[in-house]
Amino acid sequence: MISLRTYVYVDSLQPQLAAYMATVSQGFLPVPGDACLWIEVSPGMAVHRLTDRALKATRVHLAQQVVERAYGSMVIHQRDQDDVREAGRVLLGSMNSQVEDRERPRIAWQEIIRGMTPDHTVLINRQDRRGSMILPGQSMFILETEPAGYIIYAANQAEKAASINLIDVRAVGAFGRLILAGSEADVDEAAGAALAAMERPSGT
């Protein structure tokens, strides 16, 4: 039996998130405006069967596939939203599942740190080299979620809501992690959008 942990549909990847995903994806790279579906299942090896069915049934592209000991995740995308939605229906049917069967996202940590110091920002920039850089004086929002995949939707909604920089978006492993930065007002706005996304994660 395949258990559905994460099922997240993104209608239009925002420019920074699409660029960030391209730095970590091993498959066909997404571009801004693509629709995207992120699925995480247990056991991990089952993701191969699901990948095969989605690719054969629709025109979606495989951006990423991660097989861990306990969980497996896949990311598919396509410019046409209907293709991505159809792939989702195929996958759910293969698992005899519905969107409502997915695990609800849980917030493990959230925090805004204001007026970042130079020492702190330099260290963060050395650790997180795939995203943008955070500058001294900016504010920083941190969000950790469980399961990990929901962080993608939070990041996309945050970027839609405000003029911020994505520093880190990690969507695999035990927890998902989002770090973003910007002016105090923009970070407040983006944080609100990210937290609202966790209350109402997209599935269609």
SS3 letters across 6-62: EEEEECCCCHHHHHHHHHHCCCCCCCCCCEEEEEEEECCCHHHHHHHHHHHHCCCEE
What is the token pair recorded at 120?
A: 């702190």
> In this model, does residue 6 exceed pLDDT 80?
yes
Average pLDDT of span 103-132:
92
Residue 21's φ and ψ, nearest 5 degrees, are -60, -35
Predicted TM-score (pTM) of the model is 0.93
What is the separation of C-alpha 178 from the centre of its chain, rounded to a whole number of angstroms?
A: 9
What value does the mean pLDDT of the chain take? 94
The answer to whether 179 and 139 are in contact (CB under 8 A) is no
> In this model, does residue 204 exceed pLDDT 70?
no
Q: Which residues contact residue 126 at a Cβ distance below 8 angstroms, ignoring those fewer than 6 apart?
A: none
Residue 25's φ and ψ, nearest 5 degrees, are -75, 145
Confidence of residue 172 (pLDDT cuts 50, 70, 90): confident
CATH 3.30.70.1710 residue ranges for the chain = 3-101, 106-199
> In this model, does residue 119 exceed pLDDT 80?
yes
> In this model, does residue 115 exceed pLDDT 80?
yes
Burial of 158 (0-12, 13-18, 19+ CB in 10 A): buried
- Which pLDDT score is estimated for 89? 97
What homologous superfamily is domain 3-101 in, according to CATH?
BMC (bacterial microcompartment) domain (3.30.70.1710)
What is the token pair recorded at 161?
A: 């809501």
- In terms of CATH architecture, what is 106-199? 2-Layer Sandwich (3.30)
Instruction: Write the CA distances from 26 to 11, 53, 73, 146, 192, integer angstroms.
Output: 22, 19, 13, 23, 31
DSSP one-letter code for 202: -
Burial of 35 (0-12, 13-18, 19+ CB in 10 A): buried
pLDDT in tens, 128-159: 778 889 999 999 999 999 999 999 999 999 99
pLDDT in tens, 175-185: 999 999 999 99
In the chain, pLDDT over 90 holds for what percent of residues?
A: 88
Q: For residues 110 and 26, which has the higher predicted lDDT (pLDDT)?
A: 110
pLDDT in tens, 161-171: 999 999 999 99
